[in-house]
Amino acid sequence: MLVHVPNVLTADEVARVRGILEASEWVDGRETAGEQAAMAKFNLQIPEGSQAGMEAGDIILRALGRNATFNSAALPLRVLPPLFNRYDAGMTFHAHVDGAIRAMPHNGQRIRADVSTTLFLTAPDEYDGGELIVEDTYGNHSVKLPVGDMIVYPSTSLHHVTPITRGSRWSSFFWTQSMIKDDGKRTLMYDLDQAIIDIRSKLDDREHSVVALTSHYHNLLRRWAEL
């Protein structure tokens, strides 16, 4: 399931994040990649655990907390602190699957990467190339979103970033351990939640159909959630 989440960051929040990143140092992205990914990864990255990364990441984490679409799609249990990358002309990231287990930077707690997210910090007209290509059973999906928007997709997906031919592409990326690790079940829950939102816009919340659907949603979540 790929979900486009628009307007995650306000224009002011984008400016604040960009300002932090513009004043920060960038390192070779391969320094934070595993052995296999390092052979496919050609970009720059804000060092993990840096003060700048944590400051910019906190802005994003607060925005995620208020975003109903992200919470509906990911059903987050834990979110790894956001990281930041940059692709300049000629840079790319070849096809790969994200690692299954990540570690929190400060306490070393391991989390399972169920959901991957890319938040775009540069507008599409600022660069050529740089599309995120996500592969699933329905084919290849090319993603290049407005600044402040993000894409949410299963971490099991094979994906890559096409080479930059002009400009620079900046983004934040992070992983979520979901309360429901199975993507098929998460998709059912997301679709059901969207249906409930739609029917609530047309009927009174006390209507039997609204109450019944909401009850089914929570009982399925109770049955499938792992805390």
- Please give the Cα distance from 180 to 77 (Å, whole number): 9
96 is in an annotated binding site: yes
Helix (H, G, I), strand (E, B) or coil at 72: helix
169 is in an annotated binding site: yes
Count of positions (residues) in the chain: 227
159 is in an annotated binding site: yes
Which token pair is 140?
């290849």
DSSP 203: S
Q: Give bridge partners of residue 146 from the DSSP assignment.
A: none
86 is in an annotated binding site: no
Complete edge-to-edge strand list for the sheet that includes strand 158-161: 41-42, 92-96, 158-161, 132-136, 139-143
Which token pair is 195?
């249906």
Binding-site residues for 2-oxoglutarate, in ranges, read: 169
Q: Which residues are annotated as a binding site?
A: 96, 98, 159, 169
- Residues in binding site for Fe cation: 96, 98, 159
